[in-house]
């Protein structure tokens, strides 16, 4: 008898029409972090594989200045595309990325508060922090942390950054990366990401399915390996041309140096590499070599960015005091 | 003098963000050792030992009795000799005065002590014990910093302390009062924290006596045994009434014990349709990816349920169970997708793809490795077949080696790398390969751990040996020699595997020929590896052989329980055929306890020393013993008896009766004893001397083929 009652409860819970829509979830998280003194940024307009690659993370975690920022970053992973046919895997998924620099002492508690803020009752769900050290060989970045599991579902990557662009970080930033589709599916009680309610009027599938199909076709079948490789090499060469000129410059010229465009080119390389990889035209050995080439660009960008910041330091905006304090 | 018998309990808790589950037990035992070391060396520990344990958010150490103050220490300081300190009339000299001044004592307090070297001036100094609070304030932060971790982090800044995860609170109470120090900007206090969601975030403690109970009231079971028992109990309760049982998995039980501060078990279900998938895949998904226990019915077959351990008291609305069921369903759906997609083509169709998967840059691709494995496995199988004892088939070994690595290119193994080999075996079976071949593929990474079994059939043994010998030869050839804890290609495991497969399956493998074959095969695939020179190949062979024998010694000592000197003695007499070496070792172990053996072994040692002292054999060795040169009865007797014993023992050795052969040798003892009693080896007469040395040399060589007795430790015989 007992089992029957339980089952009914479950049926009533899912799917849950009162649960927040996909866009409401984004509003809620943005409001939460905005209230905690985060700058609300917009997605970066170059293809990236993860929110970490947004300059608001990759560059801002370098150097001493405190910073707090939150943004949604659509993240493209060509090899994960499934033509919109797999209920869980996507060519492009959305991450909500939060960077807190320096990392406050109560950051785990605040993170858990953010889950409460989007309607998760932590006494009724099993939340755990399981060891998972994040690493991005293309960015020369790594950190220590966990994946946060909600009833066995991975919903957030929680990382204390130790190194970025090959530079040891001081202070340490904490990065919270929420997997928005997964959290929304959990809240709405749907099994298929394309059934998510995006807004009151549209489903995720209505808005994104065609994109998933077309980019899967392109990544796996239509992207021309020769052309893609050429694009990679062009972007790489252009980045190298720019970066190669930095060292000899005088202070004034360094101030004006276009390091941010150089970073954009590095990002393009990273995306084109992912595309070649999905296309299945890279051998394991070449893979390691190409990753190494992108990493070299990323590390040089990080180095020159820091150098440029120190030479501009005095004139730049002073850190706002409130940023350094704990939440509690 | 004050002898402080006042002692109090020390409670030390390092409160931390979630520590990786696999590291907690080890860290707790390190903390125990470190703390005990400091408390002992500072003379603070009274009797009872320190104990330590841990949970995800804390490492805890308790010392039941710590002295509140170090005992005072009296120390005698010796000064100048009495003869220097006082003059002829007994007045103190400047030497005595300056010694007194240095000790801060009046001259009257000095006294003399007599030593073997004469009388000296001395002074008594009392070193005052310091309060434990003061000592602990120095020692505890050091103890935190000294706990070793596989990969630590910093969080307060690059010059800040390192630990496995950020430390957020510290409790350090001696008799209920907080020890005063700072670590990572944290001052220890009386407050611990309870369960993240069920307990209070601040719990005031009095000390060790109320620690566990207060934590339990806040939903933290501090001791791992308590958590483990709760999990086991709840698993039992959930399965027994349904006539089911959990798939036994001690490693998983250990993991979930350290993943939760207040573990509870829930039973979930999955779609019965997934039971069509091989159970290896289902169990891997449940265990490795979701940390669930698989559930079996009475016949030992998987049932459509799982057991999840949650970090809460219960799941009253079933929400957690429903969530876990949904996640597992999605994972199984993926696994089914891979199972079906991968098999749209046959296993052999993945072979060309292996040419693009690098094994090691200088050792070529997995395609190259497969070619080498085929050659080696076929060679091994032919050897065994030709020996006439084993029904090995070169064609099957070749086929299994050809397909062994194909699964590395499948989606399933890309998603579940821990299933390499197993997936290939399952696909081979599903696609109608011979059962012998399919199991050989399935098993060829075995044994993967000390607990793991060796491959179940002969073909599997051939492929497993081929794979491992190739890895060893290849990596040593390009200088990838394991050092310290770094062994990225798993060469230690490979060498252990070689030894275990040979020994447990009792395979007639000549190690030196096997290694030579593996090194020779390297030259052809890939062809660019420069190993053509004989001496280069010889050097690699030697390194690999020594590496394997090292593992063999380890296994025989640590796992088979043989004494180290017996192992050395048996292997020194020949280790090329490991199975034979172990037979000799067993015989040696038995015979060693008998009465004649010990004195005989000592005599053999003596013989070896005499021969070594006599200089190079070329100087004294005669082509053969010449009986006409014998001067003493005892040497004639030894020569005659040794000849008979040699014939007998050779016959016994041929049939593998090593114990009996050793008995025959042990029977030589009276003759040997008499020889050493009556005969002087290094006599004046050169020819007689040479003849005696030759007799001993022949004796030693003849009777050292089962074991080199000189390797036996004399005191232990």
Tell me, letter by letter, the H, E, C secondary structure of chain A: CHHHHHHHHHHHHCCCCCCCCHHHHHHHHHHHHHHCCCEECCCCCCCCCCHHHCHHHHCCCCCCCCEEEEEEEEEECHHHCCCCCCCCCCCEEEEEEEEEECCCCCHHHHHHHHHHHCCCCCCCCCEEEEECCCEECCCCEEEEEEEEEECCEEEEEEEEEEEECCEECCCCCEEEEEEHHHHHHHHHCCCCHHHCECCCCCEHHHHHHHHHHHHHHHHHHHCCHHHHHHHHHHHHHHHHHHHHCCCCCCHHHHHCCCHHHHHHHHHHHHHHHHHHHHCCCCCHHHHHHHHHHHHHHHHHHHHHHHHHHHHHHHHCCCCCHHHHCCCC
d(CA B675, CA B678): 5
Q: Would the pLDDT of A327 be above 60? A: no
Kind and range of the H or E run holding B307: strand B302-310
- Would you call B153 and A170 a contact, using CB atoms and an 8 Å cutoff? no
pLDDT at A35: 97
- Would you call B358 and A284 a contact, using CB atoms and an 8 Å cutoff? yes
Q: Would the pLDDT of A193 be above 70? A: yes
Q: Does A6 touch chain B (CB under 8 A)?
A: yes
Chain A residues closer than 8 Å to B312 by CB: 123, 126
Cα angle, residue B237 at apex, residues B236 and B238 outer, rounded to 5°: 95
Phi-psi region of A141 (alpha: psi -120 to 50; beta: other; left: phi over 0): beta
**pLDDT average, residue stretch B229-238:** 97
Q: Does B417 touch chain A (CB under 8 A)?
A: no
- Would you call B323 and A153 a contact, using CB atoms and an 8 Å cutoff? yes
Residue B557 has what DSSP assignment? I
Angstrom distances, CA of residue B533 to CA of B479, B536, B541, B547: 16, 5, 13, 22
Q: Which of residues 10-39 of B touch A (CB under 8 A)?
A: 17-18, 20-22
d(CA B402, CA B396): 10
Give per-residue pLDDT as tens, A74-107: 999 999 999 999 888 899 999 999 999 999 999 9
Give per-residue pLDDT as tens, B199-214: 999 999 999 999 999 9
Q: Would the pLDDT of A322 be above 50? A: no
Q: Which of residues 284-313 of A touch B (CB under 8 A)?
A: 284-285
Chain A residues closer than 8 Å to B316 by CB: 124
pLDDT at A1: 37
Q: Would the pLDDT of A5 be above 70? A: no
Size of interface A-B (CB pairs under 8 A): 113
**Measured between CA atoms, how close is A174 to chain B, in angstroms?**
9
Among the partner-chain residues B21, B155, B319, the one whose CB lies closest to the CB of A103 is B155
- Comparing B441-450, B472-481, B532-541, B558-567, the range with the smallest average pLDDT is B532-541
CB B67 within 8 A of CB B46: yes
> Which of B693, B713, B712 is CA-nearest to residue B704?
B712
> Which of A80, A110, A278 is CA-nearest to residue A181?
A80
pLDDT at B717: 40
Which tokens is A279 given?
């296309």
Identify the closest residue of chain B to A159 by CA–CA distance. B165
- Would you call A171 and B157 a contact, using CB atoms and an 8 Å cutoff? yes
- Would you call A191 and B317 a contact, using CB atoms and an 8 Å cutoff? no
Number of residues that this document lists for chain B: 717
d(CA B582, CA B503): 8
- Would you call B361 and A285 a contact, using CB atoms and an 8 Å cutoff? yes
d(CA B485, CA B475): 16
Chain A residues closer than 8 Å to B317 by CB: 6, 9, 13, 124
Question: Which are the contacts of B102, defined by CB distance < 8 A and separation ≥ 6?
Answer: none
Q: Would the pLDDT of B89 be above 50? A: yes
- Long-range contacts: A255-259, Cβ < 8 Å, 24+? A255/A308, A255/A311, A255/A312, A257/A304, A257/A308, A259/A301, A259/A304, A259/A305, A259/A308
- Would you call A160 and B166 a contact, using CB atoms and an 8 Å cutoff? yes
Topology adopted by domain B586-716: Isoleucyl-tRNA Synthetase; Domain 1 (1.10.730)
pLDDT at A163: 96
Residue A94: count of CB within 10 angstroms of its CB: 22
Where are chain B's structural domains?
7-69+131-217, 73-127, 224-342, 353-561, 586-716
pLDDT at B716: 46
Give per-residue pLDDT as tens, B637-674: 999 999 999 999 999 988 889 999 988 888 888 898 89
A179 - beta bridge partners? A95
Which tokens is B10 given?
């020390």
Give the model's confidence band at A146: pLDDT under 50 very low, under 70 low, under 90 confident, else very high: very high
Identify the closest residue of chain B to A190 by CA–CA distance. B326
**pLDDT average, residue stretch A277-284:** 82
Q: Which residue has the higher pLDDT, A14 or B315?
A: B315
Mutation target vs A (from B327, B332, B335, B417; most A CBs, 10 A cutoff): B327
Identify the closest residue of chain A to B166 by CA–CA distance. A105
d(CA A214, CA B201): 51
pLDDT at B608: 87
Residue B525 has what DSSP assignment? S
Give per-residue pLDDT as tens, B605-615: 888 888 888 88
d(CA B608, CA B382): 41
Give the model's confidence band at A328: pLDDT under 50 very low, under 70 low, under 90 confident, else very high: very low
- Would you call A130 and B259 a contact, using CB atoms and an 8 Å cutoff? yes
pLDDT at B156: 95
% chain B with pLDDT above 90:
68
Highest mean pLDDT among A220-224, B103-107, B358-362, B616-620: A220-224
d(CA A54, CA B587): 71
> Which of B702, B712, B716 is CA-nearest to residue B588?
B712
Give per-residue pLDDT as tens, B291-317: 999 999 999 999 999 999 999 999 989
Give per-residue pLDDT as tens, B98-151: 999 998 889 888 898 988 888 999 999 888 999 999 999 999 999 999 999 999
Q: Which residue has the higher pLDDT, B701 or A263?
A: A263
Environment class of B102 (CB within 10 Å of its CB; exposed 0-12, middle 13-18, buried 19+): exposed
Helix axis angle for B534-554 and B491-504, nearest 10°, is 70
CB A22 within 8 A of CB A93: no
Question: Which are the contacts of B657, defined by CB distance < 8 A and separation ≥ 6?
Answer: none
- Would you call A9 and B318 a contact, using CB atoms and an 8 Å cutoff? yes
- Comparing A167-181, B300-314, B514-528, B553-567, the range with the smallest average pLDDT is B514-528
Among the partner-chain residues A14, A151, A169, the one whose CB lies closest to the CB of B324 is A151
Q: Would the pLDDT of A13 be above 90? A: no
Mutation target vs B (from A2, A128, A130, A194; most B CBs, 10 A cutoff): A128
Q: Would the pLDDT of A166 be above 90? A: yes
Residue-averaged pLDDT of chain B:
91
Phi-psi region of B163 (alpha: psi -120 to 50; beta: other; left: phi over 0): beta
Among the partner-chain residues A10, A127, A285, the one whose CB lies closest to the CB of B322 is A10
Chain A residues closer than 8 Å to B151 by CB: 133, 144
**pLDDT average, residue stretch B381-400:** 87
Number of residues that this document lists for chain A: 328
Residue A73: count of CB within 10 angstroms of its CB: 24
Q: Does A86 touch chain B (CB under 8 A)?
A: yes
Report the largest interatomic distance among the alpha carbons of chain B, rounded to a whole angstrom: 111
Q: Does A191 touch chain B (CB under 8 A)?
A: yes
d(CA B445, CA B473): 17
Q: Which of residues 252-271 of B touch A (CB under 8 A)?
A: 259-260
Give the model's confidence band at B715: pLDDT under 50 very low, under 70 low, under 90 confident, else very high: low
Give the model's confidence band at B531: pLDDT under 50 very low, under 70 low, under 90 confident, else very high: low
Among the partner-chain residues B20, B320, B365, the one whose CB lies closest to the CB of A125 is B320
Q: Does A11 touch chain B (CB under 8 A)?
A: no
Among the partner-chain residues B259, B312, B319, the one whose CB lies closest to the CB of A13 is B319
Environment class of A108 (CB within 10 Å of its CB; exposed 0-12, middle 13-18, buried 19+): buried
Give per-residue pLDDT as tens, B343-360: 999 999 999 989 888 788
Among the partner-chain residues A10, A86, A122, the one whose CB lies closest to the CB of B197 is A122
Chain A residues closer than 8 Å to B161 by CB: none
Environment class of B169 (CB within 10 Å of its CB; exposed 0-12, middle 13-18, buried 19+): buried
Mutation target vs A (from B330, B334, B361; most A CBs, 10 A cutoff): B330
Q: Would the pLDDT of A173 be above 90? A: yes
**Measured between CA atoms, how close is B419 to chain A, in angstroms?**
20
CA dihedral A76, A82, A86, A91 (to 10 degrees): 10
Question: Which are the contacts of B93, defined by CB distance < 8 A and separation ≥ 6?
Answer: B84, B85, B86, B87
Give the model's confidence band at B285: pLDDT under 50 very low, under 70 low, under 90 confident, else very high: very high
Give the model's confidence band at A324: pLDDT under 50 very low, under 70 low, under 90 confident, else very high: very low
B45 - beta bridge partners? B66
Token pair 């070793």 is found at B148
């Amino acid at each position: 008898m007992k089992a029957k009652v339980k089952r009914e409860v479950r049926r009533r819970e899912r799917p849950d029409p009162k649960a927040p829509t996909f866009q409401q979830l984004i509003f809620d998280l943005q409001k939460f972090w905005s209230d905690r003194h985060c700058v609300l940024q917009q997605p970066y307009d170059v293809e990236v594989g993860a929110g970490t690659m947004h300059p608001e993370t990759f560059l801002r975690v370098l150097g001493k200045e405190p910073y707090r920022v939150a943004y949604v970053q659509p993240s493209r992973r060509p090899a994960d595309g499934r033509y919109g046919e797999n209920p869980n895997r996507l060519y492009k998924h959305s991450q909500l990325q939060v960077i807190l620099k320096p990392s406050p002492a109560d950051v785990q508690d605040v993170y858990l508060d953010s889950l409460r803020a989007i309607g998760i009752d932590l006494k009724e769900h099993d939340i755990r922090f399981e060891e998972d050290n994040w690493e991005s060989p293309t960015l020369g970045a790594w950190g220590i942390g966990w994946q946060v599991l909600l009833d066995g579902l991975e919903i957030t990557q929680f990382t204390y950054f130790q190194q970025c662009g090959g530079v040891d970080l001081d202070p340490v930033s904490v990065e919270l990366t929420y997997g928005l589709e997964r959290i929304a599916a959990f809240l709405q009680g749907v099994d298929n990401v394309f059934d998510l309610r995006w807004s009151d009027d549209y489903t995720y599938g209505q808005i994104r399915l065609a994109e998933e199909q077309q980019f899967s076709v392109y990544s796996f079948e239509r992207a021309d390996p020769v052309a893609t490789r050429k694009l990679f090499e062009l972007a790489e060469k252009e980045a190298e041309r720019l970066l190669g000129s930095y060292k000899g410059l005088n202070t004034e010229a360094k101030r004006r140096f276009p390091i941010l465009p150089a970073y954009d080119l590095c990002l393009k390389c990273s995306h084109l590499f992912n595309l070649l990889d999905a296309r299945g035209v890279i051998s394991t050995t070449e893979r390691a070599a190409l990753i190494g080439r992108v990493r070299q660009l990323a590390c040089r960008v990080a180095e020159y960015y820091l150098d440029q910041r120190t030479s501009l330091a005095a004139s730049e905006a002073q850190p706002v005091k409130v940023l350094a304090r704990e939440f509690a | 003098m004050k002898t402080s018998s006042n002692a109090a309990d020390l409670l030390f808790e390092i409160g931390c963000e979630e520590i990786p589950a696999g590291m907690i037990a080890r860290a707790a035992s390190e903390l125990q050792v470190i703390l005990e070391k400091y408390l002992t060396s500072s003379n603070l520990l009274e009797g009872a030992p320190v104990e330590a344990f841990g949970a995800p958010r804390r490492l805890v150490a308790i010392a039941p009795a710590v002295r509140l103050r170090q005992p005072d220490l009296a120390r005698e300081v010796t000064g100048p000799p009495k003869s220097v300190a006082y003059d002829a009339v007994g007045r103190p000299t400047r030497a005595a005065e300056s010694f007194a001044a240095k000790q801060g004592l009046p001259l009257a307090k000095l006294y003399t002590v007599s030593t073997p070297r004469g009388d000296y001036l001395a002074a008594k100094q009392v070193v005052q014990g310091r309060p434990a609070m003061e000592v602990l304030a120095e020692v505890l932060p050091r103890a935190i910093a000294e706990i070793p971790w596989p990969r630590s982090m910093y969080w307060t800044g690059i010059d800040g302390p390192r630990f496995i995860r950020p430390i957020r609170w510290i409790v350090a109470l001696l008799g209920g009062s907080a020890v005063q120090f700072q670590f990572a900007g944290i001052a220890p206090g009386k407050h611990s924290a309870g369960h993240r969601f069920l307990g209070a975030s601040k719990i005031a403690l009095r000390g060790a006596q109320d620690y566990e109970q207060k934590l339990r009231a806040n939903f933290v079971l501090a001791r791992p045994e308590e958590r483990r028992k709760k999990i086991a109990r709840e698993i039992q309760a959930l399965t027994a009434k349904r006539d089911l049982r959990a798939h036994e998995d001690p490693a998983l039980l250990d993991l979930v014990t350290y993943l939760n501060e207040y573990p509870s078990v829930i039973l979930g279900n999955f779609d019965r349709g997934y039971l069509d998938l091989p159970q290896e895949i289902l169990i891997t998904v449940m265990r490795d990816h979701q940390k669930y226990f698989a559930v079996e019915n009475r016949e030992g077959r998987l049932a459509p349920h799982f057991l999840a351990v949650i970090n809460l008291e219960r799941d009253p609305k079933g929400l957690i169970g429903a969530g876990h069921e949904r996640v597992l369903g999605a994972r199984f759906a993926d696994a089914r997708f891979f199972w079906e997609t991968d098999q749209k083509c046959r296993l052999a169709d993945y072979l060309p793809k292996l040419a693009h998967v690098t094994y090691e840059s200088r050792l070529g691709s997995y395609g190259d490795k497969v070619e080498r494995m085929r050659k080696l496995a076929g060679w091994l199988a032919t050897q065994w077949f030709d020996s006439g004892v084993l029904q090995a088939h070169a064609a099957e070994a070749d086929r299994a080696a050809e397909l062994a690595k194909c699964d590395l290119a499948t989606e399933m193994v890309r998603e579940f790398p821990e299933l390499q080999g197993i997936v290939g075996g399952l696909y081979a079976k599903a696609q109608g390969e011979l059962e012998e071949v399919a199991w050989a593929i399935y098993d060829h990474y075995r044994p993967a751990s000390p607990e793991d079994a060796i491959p179940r059939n002969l073909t599997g043994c051939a492929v497993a040996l081929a794979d491992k010998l190739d890895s060893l030869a290849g990596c040593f050839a390009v200088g990838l020699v394991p050092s310290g804890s770094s062994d990225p290609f798993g060469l230690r495991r490979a060498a252990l595997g070689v030894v275990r497969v040979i020994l447990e399956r009792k395979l007639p493998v000549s190690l030196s020929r096997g290694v030579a074959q593996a090194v020779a095969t390297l030259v052809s695939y890939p062809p660019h590896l420069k190993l053509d020179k004989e001496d280069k190949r010889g050097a690699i062979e030697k390194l690999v052989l020594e590496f394997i024998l090292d593992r063999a010694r380890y296994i025989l000592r640590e796992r088979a329980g043989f004494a180290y000197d017996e192992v050395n003695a048996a292997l020194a007499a020949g280790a090329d055929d490991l199975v034979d070496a172990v037979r000799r070792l067993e015989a040696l172990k038995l015979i060693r306890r008998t009465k004649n053996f010990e004195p005989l072994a000592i005599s053999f040692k003596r013989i070896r020393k005499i021969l070594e002292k006599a200089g190079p054999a070329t100087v004294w060795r005669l082509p053969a013993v010449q009986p006409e040169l014998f001067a003493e009865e005892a040497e004639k007797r030894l020569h005659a008896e040794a000849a008979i014993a040699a014939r007998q023992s050779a016959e016994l050795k041929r049939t593998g009766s090593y114990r009996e052969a050793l008995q025959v040798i042990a029977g030589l003892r009276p003759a040997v004893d008499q020889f050493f009693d009556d005969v002087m080896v290094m006599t004046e007469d050169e020819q007689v001397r040479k003849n005696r040395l030759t007799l001993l040399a022949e004796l030693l060589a003849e009777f050292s083929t089962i074991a080199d007795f000189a390797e036996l430790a004399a005191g232990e015989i």
